Every structure is written in C-alpha cells, then in structure tokens.
Amino acid sequence: MKKYFIPASLLGFMALNLTSCQIIGDIFTSGMWLGAVAVLLVIFLIFKFLNKGKGNT
C-alpha cells in the first residue's frame, strides 16, 4: 500500500492543478515541435546525401 502513495498523491495533485485542456494543449505543442525537428532533420539528411553524390563526380 505504501509504494502507491507517491504516484497516487502525484495524480491527485495533477488532477487539482491541471485542466484537461491545458494537458491536451501541452501534448499538441510538444508534438508540433517534435514534428518540426523531424522535418528539419529529414531535409538536412536529404541535402547531405545529394551533396555527397555530387562531390564524387
């Protein structure tokens, strides 16, 4: 019973201090940034491979 005290109290704290709209907004914001970084990484890798191929000719 004791080992569930900390997660249960944390859940209770979050339930009282965070609204569902705020949680959903934070999830979408972090997802947007993750998507933007992934797109930039893919574009960087494409340019890197294209320039590598041009250097060998």
Assigned token pair, 36: 């933007």
Name residue, tokens 């997660």: 7
pLDDT tens-digit readout, 6-23: 666 766 777 677 667 777
Single pTM value for the model: 0.50
Q: Say what the pLDDT of residue 47 is.
A: 93
Question: Taking CA 17 as the corner, what is the angle to CA 11 and CA 23, rounded to the nearest 5 degrees?
Answer: 80
Q: Say what the pLDDT of residue 55 is.
A: 66
Q: Say what the pLDDT of residue 11 is.
A: 67
Domain holding 35, by residue range, is 2-55
pLDDT tens-digit readout, 41-56: 999 999 999 988 776 5
Task: Please tell me the total count of domains within the chain.
Answer: 1
Q: Say what the pLDDT of residue 57 is.
A: 52
